[in-house]
Amino acid sequence: MFKRVLIANRGEIAVRIIRACEELDIETVAIFSEADENALHVQLADHAVCVGSADATDSYLNKDSILRAALETGADAIHPGYGFLSEDADFAEQVTAHGITWIGPMPETIRLVGDKDVARASMQPSGIPMAKGSEPLKNNKEAIKMAKEVGYPVILKPVSGGGGKGMYVAHNEDDLKNILDALVDLKKTNYYFEHYIERSRHIEVQIVADNYGEVIHLGERECSIQRRNQKLLEESPSIALTHEMRKQVGTLAVKAAKSVHYSNVGTVEFLLDLKDNQFYFMEINPRIQVEHGVTEEVTGIDIVRTQIRIAAGEPLDITQADVHFQGHAIECRINAEDPDNNFMPSPGQITFLHEPSGPRVRFDSGVTAGLSIEPYYDSMIAKLIVHGRTRGDAIKIMQRALKEFRIDGVKTTISLHQKILSDSYFRTGNIDTQFIKKRIATYEAQKENGKNYFA
């Protein structure tokens, strides 16, 4: 097992990793920017090193500075968390070249699954179902031709990257021309097409794989509550799946992981087409996910500790038959954004914070009262996670927890989550990836006209 782990991240995921290391008797090294000198992850770690200015490019994305901090503090492993450098195969190679263990998939795997075109090609021989797609696009003329072949509506996606960013939906050629005109340089970002499934649910499967070829899954998460392809609320299990569908998507996820010789933890993402209840592969995320906590709640398995043990060379100590699911978990991502003002970021000092607690409530955060939400980084304040006996039970617990959550000094998305949880369609599980656009947007419009949409 490792003696000392450097955490190449900040905020709640850095705190989460520190907690896992504490339980494994591993010392931790926090890195921080000048703006984060008093941050919670810095206070909790055994050692801390400043790696640059407030600008993330000079600090949390500064590979040389982070690597130097690891070497100077004697860290024998680096955990990248999510975001920042977690999917940077070149940095992972640099780390391992210096004799430091990378807590994540092998660099070649990160590179392979990070290129969606290559990843799709690698999995097609295994029979993984995929929406019809195109090759990477070279120019606007080719893009218009390819869109017709794929069939409208199409979604334009970056070949590399993730997190739902940089995607555009075109329902016809005029839509596509407007998008292409706005993008200016198609080759610079390197896009490709997929046929856009209009009525779908976003289903992802947590996978765990050791370094000896053993791969299991820890069930699925429902991630259909999104705004502009960015997840807002996640839950596990998905009530859209029957026992047979759950077994099917788990098997597909394991097959996808094996087809790219995956190791460590990751997530295989699918779209469930509601027209025919068929799953279509989207991508593999080669890192810990923001929403891993809901899976931990329903399985009782600590995914971050599992990551660390696998990276240390330990084989999986459980089989698929050992994985059992209990109850229902929901996670709300609470961001410092103003939902009443087009989700504008709301940086500033937190002057008061009362964390929700009580039975079956988990609060994952990297902030405390007196600290500031900095404008330079992601606006997440906390992940509020609850675990109930049933989905209805979990909804009630989450409503209570959101009501308890008090924070002053910044605007937050708490009110948005309260609207979601009160919506009749959400409560019955009748949701899809267009839920926010269709239901919450309608609520806002009717509220302006003096109507109570949720009555």
Tell whether the model's pLDDT for residue 161 goes beyond 70: no
Residue 113 lies in a domain: no
pTM for the full model?
0.92
The domain boundary residue, chosen from 147, 171, 193: 193
Q: Residue 62: name the closest of 85, 39, 40 by CA.
A: 85
Q: Which residue has the tokens 């429902």?
A: 222
> How many domains does the structure of the chain reveal?
3
Q: Are both 61 and 175 inside the same structural domain?
A: no
Contact 153, 131 (CB under 8 A): no
Average pLDDT taken over every residue of the chain: 93
Amino acid 444: pLDDT: 56
Same domain, 331 and 233: yes
Does any domain span residue 165?
yes
Q: Contact, 362 vs 297, CB < 8 A?
A: yes
Q: Residue 237, preceding bond cis, omega within 30 degrees?
A: yes
- Same domain flag for 261 and 368: yes
Residue 212, token pair as written in the block: 């000896």
Instruction: Say if residue 368 is in the same domain as residue 339.
Output: yes
309-339 pLDDT tens trace:
999 999 999 999 999 999 999 999 999 999 9
Is the pLDDT reported for residue 79 higher than 80? yes
Instruction: Answer for the pair 216, 320: CB distance below 8 angstroms, yes or no.
Output: yes
In terms of domains, do 96 and 208 share one?
no
Residues 262 and 207: beta-carbon distance below 8 Å:
yes
Length reported for the chain: 455
Shared domain check, 318 and 215? yes
Q: Is residue 180 part of a domain?
A: yes
pLDDT of residue 131: 86
Residues 6+ apart with CB under 8 A from 432: 199, 200, 201, 224, 274
User: How many CB atoms are located within 10 Å of the residue 258 CB?
Assistant: 16
67 and 16, same domain (yes or no):
yes
b/e per residue 47-71 (b: at least 16 CB within 10 A)? bbbbbbeeebeebbbbeebbbebbe
The residues with which 233 forms a beta bridge, in sequence order, are 225, 332
| Alpha-carbon span 225 to 363, nearest angstrom | 20
Residue 188 in tokens: 């610079």
| Percentage above 90 pLDDT, the chain | 77
From 153, 173, 193, the end of a domain falls on 193
For the packed helices 107-114 and 116-123, what is the interaxial angle rounded to 10 degrees?
Answer: 100
Considering the domain architecture, whether residues 187 and 215 belong to the same structural domain is answered as no
Any idea which residues carry the catalytic annotation?
Answer: 287
pLDDT tens string 233-290: 999 999 999 999 999 999 999 999 999 999 999 999 999 999 999 999 999 999 999 9
Q: Which CATH number does the domain housing residue 248 bear?
A: 3.30.470.20
Six token digits for residue 197: 């499934």
Same domain, 83 and 38: yes
Is residue 449 scored above 80 in pLDDT? no
Judge residue 278's burial from the number of C-beta atoms within 10 Å of its C-beta, 0-12 exposed, 13-18 middle, 19 or more buried: middle
Check whether 293 has a pLDDT greater than 60. Answer: yes
Would you say residue 56 lies in a domain? yes
Q: Is residue 110 part of a domain?
A: no
Q: Is 43 helix (H, G, I), strand (E, B) or coil?
A: helix
Residue range(s) defining the domain that contains residue 67 = 2-102
CATH code assigned at 56: 3.40.50.20
pLDDT, tens digit (0-9, with 9 covering 90-100), for 216-237: 999 999 999 999 889 999 999 9
User: So what's the pLDDT on residue 181?
Assistant: 84
CB 138 within 8 A of CB 201: no
Give the pLDDT mean for 195-205.
93
